[in-house]
Structure 1
């Protein structure tokens, strides 16, 4: 995460080479695209596994709700989560400059609520 912050700081500096900025942005877009492809493959494969298990077994016998039916989705989901965290880092939940934007929002709200 420190490296991504350093890259962002370099990206923001005035003396930064535009070609290098383009390469960094291109690399980031490729990583994000790779994650979305991973999500799509995850959904398609696991839907196929669950659908084929549903067609083979009935709900009445309880065979459908076995560990084998959902274990692939669980463990692959853990890997997918790790992939998402590696691509988006801590920006996944709060985004970039979240604290500053939130502080500004509260300050603007307080300012508009005062009767001057």
Structure 2
């Protein structure tokens, strides 16, 4: 029973660490893109801020997908199903 609780605690701690990392990433994105937008609109008429916002935004979306285990291509819980499938095989 103690091992099961330790395993749950370890998994929960890992999930919290991932989410904390994502929220830090989101906060830094909001701050930096806001500063860049201010610089862009106060210095030139060309909206170059779109490029770093889109590039970094794609990375942020990818980070969100990894953090919350969202995978539109493989579907929900794909990894868990595959793990169970391999564990049920006799030659594994």
After superposition, the C-alpha distances for 1:34-65 in whole angstroms (9 at most, x for unaligned) are 001100000000000000111113xxxxx243
> Counterparts in 2 of 1:31-42, with a 5 A limit?
31-42=18-29
State whether structure 2 residue 72 is matched by structure 1 residue 87.
Answer: no
Secondary structure in 2 aligned to 1:89? coil
State whether structure 2 residue 43 is matched by structure 1 residue 56.
Answer: yes
Per the TM alignment, residue 89 of structure 1 is displaced from its structure 2 partner at its CA by: 1.7
- Aligned partner of 1:43 in structure 2 is 30
* 5+ long unaligned stretches in structure 2: 78-92
TM-score by length of 2: 0.69
- Aligned partner of 1:69 in structure 2 is 49
What number of residue pairs does the alignment pair up?
73
Structure 1's consecutive aligned runs of 4 or more residues displaced over 2 angstroms after TM superposition are none
Q: Contact (CA 8 Å) 2:22, 2:63: kept in 1 or not?
A: yes
Q: Distance in 1 between matches of 2:49 and 2:12?
A: 40
Q: Distance in 2 between matches of 1:79 and 1:56?
A: 27
Q: Distance in 2 between matches of 1:69 and 1:33?
A: 26
